[in-house]
Homo-oligomer: A and B are copies of this chain.
């Protein structure tokens, strides 16, 4: 009873699978996946560690569930516009989601069966492409390519040692450029120096690649 009251102080509701998974995502956003332990998560929820196992069979399944919630956050390609606008919108949304949950990208490669939100997303994307006049096989190609662009940029972005363009500009001259001596890395040094003056925005970088891919796919549609 006292325990329940204390639980209510920190979390003010009974445990549910949704609450467990949602809190796990919050925790992973804050601390990374390595910082997400069952004990810590339980503490966050004001519960005992073993209580979680009534809502989630084990940590792996919890991670699966977290990934699927992440996919739920991705906007589906809207109907009623041209396919490029629709796919751009969905892809931009996906990139934002993965930027918000950087742990999700690294988690994906060990999880081999897609969750239901993932499947729903894929279905909507495929529908959009097919309706735009891509053949079945070409829609598959386009799907792979566009997903690669999203995942690839998200992965590279997660690797960056800085988060914003400003942060990059701040640290570039003192920290990054010295690691790229012109003798050993003339081209990288030149690039880094140019980026300092030009500014640097991963989101714009992504749009460049995405639009190039979309434009390259355009002529591969069958005539509508």
Residues of chain B lying within 8 A (CB to CB) of residue A105: 109, 155
Say yes or no: is A161 at the interface (Cβ < 8 Å to chain B).
Answer: yes
Give the contacting residue for A145; candidates B111, B140, B209; CB below 8 A. Answer: B209
Segment touching B, from A22-30, A71-79, A213-221: A213-221
Count of A residues near B, CB < 8 Å? 59
Assembly CA distance A112 to B194 (angstroms) = 21
Say yes or no: is A53 at the interface (Cβ < 8 Å to chain B).
Answer: no
Contact with B along A131-150 (1 / 0, CB 8 A): 00000110111001101111
B155 engages A108 (CB within 8 Å): yes
Residues of chain B lying within 8 A (CB to CB) of residue A160: 112
Say yes or no: is A187 at the interface (Cβ < 8 Å to chain B).
Answer: yes
Say yes or no: is A119 at the interface (Cβ < 8 Å to chain B).
Answer: yes
Q: Closest residue of chain B to A212, judged by CB?
A: B216
Say yes or no: is A190 at the interface (Cβ < 8 Å to chain B).
Answer: yes
Q: How far is the CB of A7 from chain B (nearest CB, A)?
A: 32
Q: How far is the CB of A126 from chain B (nearest CB, A)?
A: 4
B153 engages A205 (CB within 8 Å): no
B145 engages A212 (CB within 8 Å): yes
Q: How far is the CB of A91 from chain B (nearest CB, A)?
A: 12
Residues of chain B lying within 8 A (CB to CB) of residue A190: 130, 136
Q: How far is the CB of A36 from chain B (nearest CB, A)?
A: 13
Residues of chain B lying within 8 A (CB to CB) of residue A212: 145, 213, 216-217
B159 engages A109 (CB within 8 Å): yes
A-B contact list, 22 entries, CB within 8 Å: A32-B110, A106-B106, A106-B107, A108-B155, A108-B159, A109-B159, A111-B159, A114-B159, A123-B184, A127-B187, A130-B190, A137-B198, A140-B205, A144-B153, A144-B156, A144-B205, A145-B149, A148-B152, A150-B152, A151-B151, A152-B152, A215-B216
- Since A122-B188, A148-B155, A150-B152 are in contact, a sample of 11 more A-B pairs with Cβ atoms closer than 8 Å, ordered by chain A residue number, is A106-B109, A123-B184, A123-B185, A123-B187, A140-B191, A144-B205, A145-B212, A151-B155, A151-B156, A152-B155, A155-B155
